[in-house]
Structure 1
Amino acid sequence: MSLSNDEIPQLIYLAFGPTTYHQEACFSIVSALAHLRNTPGQALQIQVFTDDPAPYALLPVTVHVLDEQTRHLWNQPHGYHFRSKHVALRQVLDHYKKAVLIDTDTFFRTSPAALMHRVETGTLLCNAFGGRYDHNTHCPLYTKLHGLLQQRGLADDGMPLVNSGVIGLTAQDSAILDRSIALMDECYPLAREAYSLEEFCLAVVAASTLKLSECTDVIHHYWSHKKQFRAKIQAWLHKHGADPLSHAALADIQNVSDQLPRPPLLHRLSYKVMSLTLPSQQRQFARELLYGSYPYANEFDRACATAWWDKARENMDQRHGHLGPEQLRRCLRRPGLRLTLGSRRKEVEQHLLATHKD
């Protein structure tokens, strides 16, 4: 039986700003299409709301170009940019019976059909459940909003939080987005420093009316370790960007794994032993450099080398203070680390010095 146009499930992306967000979105879309082949006969329409249509020219998607004025309007009255997620999904649900909005820093582990099957009336599909509301009583969401929400009977301490990297709803439940938007607008001036206000408001308004469902088995949301996963994606795009729907490109989706590249256990143990020859504040730094330098069999894992090195440097600076160029050279030339890095030592040194900021 064929579906009417408004019955076709909708997969929605918002992609604005720097190139990296468009790269993420393109890879996520292709991962959806690659896995969709495993569920033949499953209809799916993909819509992209963006400030730049060019990256999507080779993909079978519907592009909505949003000018700066429209995006500004969607973020009002306080300029809160995550508000636009709910606005976009609400508009799509005015025309379709089922839709899922997905963040760009995602890719599919299995067919998006599995995602759409979980979008049911009376259910909010999110990426993952968080902890209870009272698990962090020192965050702005609790210190600034707890009293107000309790007075209105909107949130008790045991309320489950959600990750809104995925938001799936039916049109019948779309009014939940209106309430979430209204609550965001009210609470933003009280807790403007709360980065996750958008998904918190969604959890609050859904708590008393909708069941919660998650989809971590279908979607990998790499909100942490972004440098490494972006490096994998950029390597895939460098290889397949000119023909992203070719047989080779779709096959290679499976080779961009959802795991951080780590050397085998024996190598990790040897790195740990070697690091004991270094000053304590340099040990984690050295191990992370070696994680990036390992010759992984997977080409996309090998592409994470500079991301590992950059992250090692960033972590070192945050934990122990800035490491100057001469200190860096001395660290990399200590006998244990120099021998373990081998032929890659000069490459590591040149990269870190080239990206060094005084």
Structure 2
Amino acid sequence: MNSSSSNSQAPQLVYLVFGAETYHQEAVFSIASALAGMRESPDQALDIQVFTDNPAPYAKLPVRLRALDKETRAAWSAPHGYHFRTKHVALRQVLSESECALLIDTDTFFHGSPLELFARVKPGTLLCNAFNPRYGEHRQYPLHQVLSERLLARGLADDQMQQVNSGVIGLMREDAGVLDQSIALMDEFYPEVSTSFNLEEFCLAVASYRTLHVNECSDLIHHYWSRKQLFRAKVRGWLLKHSESPLSKEALDDTRRVTTTLPRPPTWKRLFYKLATMGVPSMQRQFLREILYGCTWYSNEFDRACSPVWWEKALDNAEERLKRPLEPPQLKNWLNHWPIRAILGNQHEVIYQHLLHYSAGKK
């Protein structure tokens, strides 16, 4: 595998990463999981390109870095400042240089070799992450209410159109024109449906409808757009352990121990927690049960890294129910119920201090 220099004949795995540190953390782990998978195909080539505003996190990875400064992002997001537009522009640029490319979101990790995804990218084919419901199943949303009649009149889409998740976009160079069309549709529709978070992938579905065969690949990667904070905690656990040597055998092996399973206590323990909280005021029960969920010991160290997320989720959910912040004295009082203190033991003060710090960070 050669990922440090450009090889236009090799498949191109492309990341677009800018902004908060957490996106770079996601990308580093996703790349590591791809490299772990490439061990299944040691004699085959793959180039990894990272368009980014911060090269530092990738210094120890065999990737090709491409500068993505504010001016470039602004140009790629123009004319409306729609930042998801940059995905299509970046992939379009790579396809002007290479035969085959696949842009993948950072919140992903591979189950096996990335080359399995590229095997599904063929002439006349769009590879997406997964199929979303058909267009007609979302009649209540602005994308349908505002655009459906116009799209039907122009012969671009109807209610049978299969919508797609664009966590993966894979194309051959000869089919790159679909990106030009999707970009044009974004530019046209954005002023009318700017609140639609999925406009970018919707326009990709419209552009490819009836013109390209669409494949999906959710069996080959995990795209953790749901329960994101728990998976980010697993990724941070991996980074804490392997940031100094992300290409070591142990590090690459450990990418497979970051599983798709969400850490949750077994049924008998959840029942025990339910019984233990029956004696506390009803408003506090769910909060305390979720706190206890975060105290369960798991054999998988990366599942154990999710404990603080359970505590934070407990606090967020409690404050949502209360419709106000949970002040420190009340938080301390809620954690002080004797059965809870007995179960938490030494963790009681750790949890309290963690939630104080978390609350301060939200203000």
1:224 is paired with a residue of what secondary structure?
A: coil
Q: Identity, % of aligned pairs?
A: 56
Change (3 A) 1:150 1:273: farther
Which residue of structure 2 aligns with residue 100 of structure 1?
102
Q: Is the 8 A contact 1:227 1:311 kept in 2?
A: no
Q: Which residue is 2:264 aligned to?
A: 262
Q: Structure 2 matches for 1:209-248, cutoff 5 A?
A: 209-248=211-250
Q: Describe the superposition over 1:108-143 as per-residue Cα deviations: whole angstroms up to 9, x where unpaired.
A: 111101111011112111111111223232222122
Please say which of residues 251-260 and 333-342 is displaced more in the overlay: 333-342
Output the amino acid matched with 1:345. Answer: H
Name the counterpart of 1:293.
295
Number of the residue aligned with 1:156 = 158
Distance in 1 (CA, whole Å) between partners of 2:340 and 2:193 is 46
- The structural deviation recorded for 1:258 is 1.6
Query: 1:15-30 residue pairs with structure 2 within 5 A?
Result: 15-30=17-32
2:331 alignment partner in structure 1: 328
| Deviation (angstroms), 1:151 | 2.2
TM-score by length of 1: 0.94
Which structure 1 segments of 5+ residues have no match? Answer: none
CA deviation string 1:184-208 (max 9, x = no partner): 0000000011111000100111111
Residue from 302, 305, 316 that aligns with 1:303: 305
- Measured in 2, the distance between the counterparts of 1:241 and 1:324 equals 36
Per-residue Cα deviation, 1:37-59 (whole angstroms, up to 9, x for no partner): 02232221100001111111111
Opposite residue 17 of structure 1, the aligned amino acid is G
Letter of the aligned partner of 1:26 in structure 2? Answer: V
Contact 1:13 1:48 in 2 (8 A): yes
Cα distance, 1:148 vs structure 2:
2.1
What do the CA deviations read for 1:237-282 (whole angstroms, capped 9, x no partner)? 1111111101111111111112111122211222233344344443
Q: CA deviation at 1:215?
A: 0.9
* Match 1:205 to one of 204, 207, 216: 207
For 2:132, the equivalent position in structure 1 comes to: 130
Q: Per-residue deviation at 1:81?
A: 0.3
Deviation at 1:345, TM superposition (A): 2.0
1:126 aligned counterpart, secondary structure: strand
Letter of the 2:344 partner, please give it: L
SS of corresponding position for 2:160: coil
Matched pairs, number: 356
SS of the equivalent of 2:345 reads helix
Instruction: Give, in whole Å, the separation in 1 of the partners of 2:147 and 2:318.
Output: 35
Structure 1 outlier segments of 4+, above 4 Å: none
Please report the RMSD computed on the Cα atoms of aligned residues, expressed in angstroms: 1.8
1-structure distance, mates of 2:124, 2:278: 56
Alpha-carbon separation, structure 2, partners of 1:160 and 1:270: 45
Aligned to 1:90: 92
| Alignment-derived partner of residue 3 in structure 2 | none
Partner of 2:355: 352
1:67 to 66, 69, 78: 69
- The range that moved more, 283-292 or 39-48, is 283-292
- The structure 2 residue matched to 1:110, chosen from 86, 109, 112, is 112
Structure 2 Cα separation of the partners of residues 277 and 99 of structure 1: 58
SS of match in other structure, 2:30: helix
167, 192, 197: which is aligned to 2:169? 167
| 1:24 CA drift (Å) | 0.8
Separation of aligned partners in 1, 2:116 and 2:322:
45
2:191 alignment counterpart: 189
Q: C-alpha distance in 2, partners of 1:260/1:13?
A: 25
What letter corresponds to residue 42 of structure 2 in structure 1? P
Matched, 1:343 2:341: no
Give the Cα separation in 1 of the matches to 2:279 and 2:13. Answer: 52
**8 Å CA contact 2:7, 2:47 repeated in 1:** no
Q: Which AA in structure 1 matches 2:349? A: K
CA distance in 2: counterparts of 1:119 and 1:312, whole angstroms: 42
User: In structure 2, what residue type is equivalent to 1:159?
Assistant: M
Q: Distance in 1 between matches of 2:311 and 2:146?
A: 39
